[in-house]
Structure 1
Amino acid sequence: MTTLRRWWADAPATTLLTLTAVIVYAITALQSGSLMDNLPGSSLGAAWVLYGPEVAQGGLDRLRALGAIFLHIDLGHVAINSFMLLLIGREIERFAGTALYSAAFFAGGIGASATVLWMAPYNPTAGASGALFALMVLLLGITRARGGDLRAPLALILVNVAYTFIAPSVSLWGHLGGLFAGLLMVLFFVHPRAAFRWAGVLGVLLLSCAAVLLV
């Protein structure tokens, strides 16, 4: 409990986003009765999984582009993404502040969802990986702005990009969409003027939402 309070004080948005993903996973696992194949048989999974034909119907199904960010397909999936979010998100939130960091997370996540809907609409997709790819790019930009060693964040991006092309089960377009959203944001994100930082992040967020609405 003390550790959770410390994380909450240090990085409240990162903590809340991670807890949301874990809670959503727990609900789907309870509904499906499975820890390792938790979306089939889950009403929440059926309602939130990102699937182009459903989103194209409009209405509340557009919210799948948001809900799918917190949906994960098994225990390993949510564990890896939650660990990476805690590790990367905390650093970015401490640099940028809670509000700007939160906007960047959703810009990356919804941008990834929009890319999937346009490029692979018939592939059901779930997970926070797209948002994480955007955050990895922002971490690289922050490290450069601080004058730090770029090898670790570059290696993190390259390993994950390579894994994207090797592993058949991951969402290629979700990962590439998040990466692209991060690239669009990064120069704004590290700009010394707050107005520029917010303009870049909100611009990508609005562009991502518009892309979802136009599906």
Structure 2
Amino acid sequence: MNLERIFRQAPATNTISLAIVAVYLITAFQSRSLANNLSFSSLGDSWILYAPAMTHGFGPLRAVGAIFLHIGPGHMLLNLMLLWLLGRELEKYFGAALFMLIYLIGGIGASAAVVWMDPLSPTAGASGAIYAMMAILVGLFARRGADLRAPMVLIAVNLGYTFLATNVSLWGHLGGLITGALLAWPLMKATTRRAQWKITICALIAVVIVLFWGIPYP
């Protein structure tokens, strides 16, 4: 199987993955470190999610930029693995463009939760968007009448890791999971692609409003 065929199978998932890798390499180059790639990176400083830094100019765009940043190669590779496993399945069902928008909504929803509930903790990573994908995958399995145990176990294991591990964004993960759960039901009830697009656009507007309301403007 050649690379072109792999890319065609899931273009949005692969594009997101390549963007994550590219951002990591830029931050590693700027910081001169693979492990501490955000320590002295101007891109990392500009994109990391930190509510007090979102009060001026393009600061709110950190809610999107942060979901492409990762702290070290292990953090990045774990999220890339989950993105690859989940993304291909969801992209096959929704199509590339709609899946891309759903991914961004999950990430912004996670960012909004951090801004509201843990605003003084600098946060980075695609985990929030991935948790949203997990919730939507449960909805997809339910719609197909498939066995729900696999996606539910995946969520349970990852939530267990969230609560037990240190230096993990609890609200980023919970925010993504809640966003995905709220989005999954109407998406799976929609009978046409047009209806799915309307629901997704409304969801995007909603998470952006929630995000902006949480930003501590001076």
TM-score, with length taken from structure 1:
0.95
Q: Once superposed, what is the RMSD of the aligned Cα atoms? A: 1.2
The residue number in structure 2 matching 1:174 is: 172
Amino acid at match of 1:47: S
Instruction: Give, in whole Å, the separation in 2 of the partners of 1:62 and 1:7.
Output: 34
Instruction: Give, in whole Å, the separation in 1 of the partners of 2:2 and 2:71.
Output: 27
Shift of 1:37: 1.2
Name which of structure 1's ranges 130-139 and 190-199 shifts more when overlaid on structure 2.
190-199
The residue number in structure 2 matching 1:6 is: 5
The residue number in structure 1 matching 2:119 is: 121
Superposition pairs of residues 1-215 of structure 1, within 5 angstroms = 3-55=2-54, 57-190=55-188, 191-214=190-213, 215=215
Instruction: Give, in whole Å, the separation in 2 of the partners of 1:98 and 1:35.
Output: 31
Instruction: Give, in whole Å, the separation in 2 of the partners of 1:212 and 1:7.
Output: 35
SS at match of 2:23: helix
Instruction: Give, in whole Å, the separation in 1 of the partners of 2:59 and 2:15.
Output: 24
Shift of 1:3: 4.0
SS at match of 1:59: coil
> How many residue pairs get matched?
213
Amino acid at match of 1:88: L
Amino acid at match of 2:135: V
Shift of 1:199: 2.9
Instruction: Give, in whole Å, the separation in 2 of the partners of 1:51 and 1:199.
Output: 31
Instruction: Give, in whole Å, the separation in 2 of the partners of 1:146 and 1:33.
Output: 48
Per-residue CA distance 1:87-139 (angstroms, 9 max, x = gap): 10010000111121111101100010011011111000000000000000111
Amino acid at match of 2:131: F
8 Å contact kept, 1:188–1:201: no
SS at match of 2:58: helix
Per-residue CA distance 1:4-55 (angstroms, 9 max, x = gap): 3122211111000010001100111111111111100111100100001001
Instruction: Give, in whole Å, the separation in 2 of the partners of 1:100 and 1:192.
Output: 15
Instruction: Give, in whole Å, the separation in 2 of the partners of 1:117 and 1:4.
Output: 39
Amino acid at match of 1:210: I
Q: 1:93 to 1:124 in 2, by over 3 A?
A: same
Instruction: Give, in whole Å, the separation in 2 of the partners of 1:33 and 1:208.
Output: 35
Structure 1 gap segments, 5+ residues each: none
